[in-house]
Structure 1
């Protein structure tokens, strides 16, 4: 019987949708908040989420919606800046037009990996009410995760 309960719990865990957990600033470790404030001192309003063992801070910088992903120790891992789909690099737009012509691009973002400075681009596409995120290098090559 115990084996069946463990198996059922495991099946439920797999079936549960993976999504971020909304947090209040007081629920975020002080080291993470301090590291964020050091990098983004001018930001006043932050919405926090926990994604696995990482913390995501959502905010506006100027008129750009952004997010910063930080480790539990406060290390900045990446930043993401929203952009209009028309601002994606030409090679990315060409790839979307040829490979994903049946899809509508609904959102776009520029992602910068903090440790390397590497830049990638994300396009959220929709077809038949289903959304999908696709990552690209600036040259239009898809990135698989």
Structure 2
């Protein structure tokens, strides 16, 4: 049941992102802008979007370190998605990758923090093999796996 809820949540997030509207920072509630600015004062290339009743901000901190945050209207952080490198993976996730995706290269790797839990969204690719889009929790359990 938990897997179905996560898959449904992921599908809804993807569907809502297709309907997102880019907005200027002046249209974002000040409580959200202040919270963001306080926590990420070095943010660059900042872009705001309104997705339903949530505000999303995409930004960069370092070279090739992209982040996305989602806030509710009251300024509460709902979700944080960030690009990471393979060396940043927990041991349990690395072990799952080695055992389940031997011979595959990681094409894209993101850490997603939401509702007090951490997930890793990974795109795998290999020559002459089917590509995979996988979500693994921080304990190394595969939450979802679909051909890409």
| TM-score when normalising by structure 1 | 0.64
Q: Name stretches of at least 5 consecutive residues in structure 2 with no aligned partner.
A: 1-13
Cα contact 2:44–2:61 (8 A) shared by 1: no
Name which one, 1 or 2, has greater alpha-carbon Rg.
Answer: 1
Q: Where does residue 91 of structure 1 map in the other structure?
A: 92
C-alpha RMSD over aligned residues:
3.1
2: CA distance between counterparts of 1:52 and 1:132?
29
Q: Where does residue 122 of structure 2 map in the other structure?
A: 123
2: CA distance between counterparts of 1:132 and 1:71?
31
- The alpha-carbon distance between structure 1 residues 84 and 42, as it changes in their structure 2 partners (threshold 3 A), is closer
1: CA distance between counterparts of 2:125 and 2:47?
26
Residues 22-52 of structure 1, C-alpha deviations (whole Å, 9 max, x = no match) = 2222332333222211222232431112233
1: CA distance between counterparts of 2:44 and 2:104?
36
2: CA distance between counterparts of 1:126 and 1:27?
40
- The alpha-carbon distance between structure 1 residues 126 and 53, as it changes in their structure 2 partners (threshold 3 A), is farther
Q: Name stretches of at least 5 consecutive residues in structure 1 with no aligned partner.
A: 1-16
Deviation at 1:136, TM superposition (A): 1.6
Q: Where does residue 109 of structure 1 map in the other structure?
A: 110
